[in-house]
Amino acid sequence: MSRKLFVGNLPYETMEQDLESLFGQAGAVETVTVMRDRATGRARGFAFVEMASEDDAQRAITQLNGHQLGGRALTVNEARPQAARPSGGYDGGGRSRGPGGRGGRRTEPRW
């Protein structure tokens, strides 16, 4: 099991210090990263917590999964690697580009 944990269903007001003290009850915390919206800076409702050891991480999952914080039941589990995203080949509108990179538009006359 990895030492990096996913923490979901967080109240939007949750700060890194709040999670550090909460997870510190289960063991040594190395880092806490609350994910934030780039445009507004508002928390997105989830975070990643890296514990110092495998035992601390397992203890945190056992103790804190379902724990009430700000009226919400936390989801705590092992963080999984981010899924690969397709690179390129899209025109920003969600359509795949046709031949020649023209977004699927006709290049020859219709008549």
Tens digit of each residue's pLDDT (9 = 90 or more) over 5-46: 999 999 999 999 999 999 999 999 999 999 999 999 899 999
Whole-prediction pTM:
0.73
Q: Where are the domains of the chain?
A: 4-78
98/17: higher pLDDT: 17
The burial class, CB within 10 Å (0-12 / 13-18 / 19+), for 64 is buried
Model confidence at 109, pLDDT cuts 50, 70, 90, reads confident
4-78 has which fold? Alpha-Beta Plaits (3.30.70)
Q: Does residue 95 surpass a pLDDT of 60?
A: no
Distances in whole angstroms, Cα of residue 103 to Cα of each of 74, 99, 109: 43, 8, 16
Reply yes or no on whether the pLDDT at 61 is more than 80.
yes
